Structure 1
Amino acid sequence: MGTSGWRYPEWRDGFYRNVPQRRWLSHLATHVSTIEINSSFYRLQPSTYYRKWAAETPPDFIFAVKGPKLITHVKRLRHVEDPLKTFLDTLALGSKQGPIIWQLPPSLRFDPATLKDFLAALPPGRHALEPRHESFRADAYFDLLRAHNVAHVVSDAPTFPCIEAVTADFAYVRLHGHDELYISSYSDRQLDEWAQKIRDWDRDTYVYFDNTMKGAATGNAQGLAQRLGMPITSHM
């Protein structure tokens, strides 16, 4: 249970009050058990950064890493062998490496042949795919993910479809804000509903709150963790 990213100036006067910016990651990591690394989506991050982030978090902490938009948005999953290798070579999280999430552009439609080739190119490990086009609501898509043990990302947002499907031996959820994208907080009732879904799935589940713009993500993550009987504070 955690948040999507940690570098949010909007949190400076709330969650990060009196916390120097250099300690934002370590501070957040004492309140959640996992974080998505988003910067890897925008540009290649050096291995030294991953080692630094790993060193600043508790021993049992887990990072999910967002795959580069060069692969998902520019190349649109085609001919990705070289950039995929370059990206994977930078990862240096050791035992704190969690799933790699591949967020697709809203304009990318489901193409079975393209997706099959992309999934075959992925290395061993946990991978999750977040499509944002309605055409992915298809049995052929779910079957491809199941064949490769890749998780479909269950995304909650007002601007792209929420397709609820579990396709791997783990589940992956991104909660972007139900009413206002990246903004709205989840109510007690909504958190209760998500907690029940996770119980019903009965498998390892990674949940990331992306409703970060007004600081709701941290409280929502802790609220959902409490509902699932998870500790909400870790110690370095």
Structure 2
Amino acid sequence: MPATPRSRKKESPTARIRIGIGGWTYEPWRGRFYPSDLTQKRELEYASRKLTSIEINGTFYGTQRATSFEKWHDETPEDFVFSLKAPRFATHRRVLAEAGDSVERFFASGLLVLKNKLGPINWQFAPTKQFDAEDFDAFLKLLPKQVDGRAIRHAVEVRHESFCHPEFISLLREHGVAVVMAGDSHYPQLADVTAPFVYARIMGTVEGEALGYSEQTLDSWAVRAKQWAAGERPDDLRCIEQVAPKPTPRDVYLYVISGYKASNPAAAIALIERIPKV
């Protein structure tokens, strides 16, 4: 059964709000998100026409083939974007400054064949990893701003309370790297804006809600996404810095992750519907 193209929403000429989920292969989504008669090989085609972005998780666990990136590029609409989780071999190590070889191998693996569909890279750290300013600065210096002439956006997902420190926020801003806003979770929720874009992962969907979240909560996340895109900083999220940076329109990448995963596509679609056309 072919996917029904949905109308694309352009939030502004200078900022885009992209909303999606993590991955596209998940058995409980079949017959719930995916039509029951849809073949598995067409799930990405279908999902990419209901959502505006997907975060690829497989790149975290192992190297993907260039042919896979090419296939994903060709199966999705022209304005679709993938975010990629960077390999754990780079982030799950004692000395981050020694991750250079892993970073280089990742960018040499073929991901650039995604072309204009390559979105931010999410460098996710283990919950036990603590903030070491010198080592983290050395790691950020390893992240390329460009690869073969293509600009690369980076976000870091930290999961230890020691990162709730002004020096960490300052380092990210110095390098133009975003901090992943871990919403509705037990991880530190840092909403400081440190890059020309915002990267949020919301993790609080529950089984008891048809859309994963209540209508009120969905409304709240939609408002926050629009505030970020307009260059504002939501005042109901935790920030380390008391003074907000200069208001500048920013692209927003928001993914409904974890929680009651079976409902995540429904929550993402409900959020997309709450972002008005401009």
Task: Give me the TM-score of the superposition, normalised by structure 1.
Answer: 0.91
Structure 2 match to 1:13: 31
Q: Which whole-Å CA distance do the structure 1 matches of 2:94 and 2:80 have between them? A: 32
Q: Which whole-Å CA distance do the structure 1 matches of 2:190 and 2:43 have between them? A: 33
Contact 2:185 2:202 in 1 (8 A): no
Contact 2:182 2:203 in 1 (8 A): yes
Instruction: Indicate the SS of the match to 1:27.
Output: helix
Cα distance, 1:179 vs. partner? Answer: 6.3
Change (3 A) 1:75 1:49: farther
Letter in 2 for 1:163: L
Structure 2 match to 1:210: 257
Asked if residue 223 in structure 1 is aligned to residue 276 in structure 2, the reply is: no
1:156-198 CA distance string (max 9 Å, x none): 2433222222111100000122668xxx922111111112222
Instruction: Indicate the SS of the match to 1:78.
Output: helix
Point out where structure 2 has 5 or more consecutive residues left out of the alignment: 1-18, 146-151, 231-249
Q: Which whole-Å CA distance do the structure 2 matches of 1:141 and 1:211 have between them? A: 26
Extract structure 1 runs of 4+ deviating beyond 3 A: 211-214
Cα distance, 1:212 vs. partner? Answer: 6.7
Letter in 1 for 2:252: T
Instruction: Indicate the SS of the match to 1:93.
Output: helix
Point out where structure 1 has 5 or more consecutive residues left out of the alignment: 232-236
Q: Which whole-Å CA distance do the structure 2 matches of 1:97 and 1:46 have between them? A: 15
Letter in 2 for 1:146: R
Letter in 2 for 1:121: L
Contact 1:10 1:213 in 2 (8 A): no
1:50-74 CA distance string (max 9 Å, x none): 1111111001110001000111114
Change (3 A) 1:130 1:46: same
Change (3 A) 1:27 1:170: same
Contact 2:91 2:99 in 1 (8 A): no
Change (3 A) 1:209 1:193: same
Cα distance, 1:200 vs. partner? Answer: 2.1
1:192-226 CA distance string (max 9 Å, x none): 11122222222210001113754211111111112
Contact 2:182 2:189 in 1 (8 A): yes
Change (3 A) 1:24 1:48: same
Structure 1 match to 2:148: none
Structure 1 match to 2:243: none
Letter in 1 for 2:66: S
Q: Which whole-Å CA distance do the structure 1 matches of 2:264 and 2:127 have between them? A: 23
Structure 2 match to 1:3: 21
Letter in 2 for 1:40: T
Change (3 A) 1:129 1:227: same
Q: Which whole-Å CA distance do the structure 1 matches of 2:223 and 2:196 have between them? A: 18
1:102-138 CA distance string (max 9 Å, x none): 1110000111111101111111120011101111111
For the aligned residue pairs, the C-alpha RMSD in angstroms reads 1.9
Q: Which whole-Å CA distance do the structure 2 matches of 1:158 and 1:98 have between them? A: 24
Change (3 A) 1:160 1:76: farther
Contact 2:205 2:261 in 1 (8 A): no
Structure having the higher Rg = 2
Structure 1 match to 2:141: 120
Asked if residue 105 in structure 1 is aligned to residue 126 in structure 2, the reply is: yes
Structure 2 match to 1:234: none
Structure 2 match to 1:199: 226
Instruction: Indicate the SS of the match to 1:205.
Output: strand
Q: Which whole-Å CA distance do the structure 1 matches of 2:29 and 2:188 have between them? A: 28
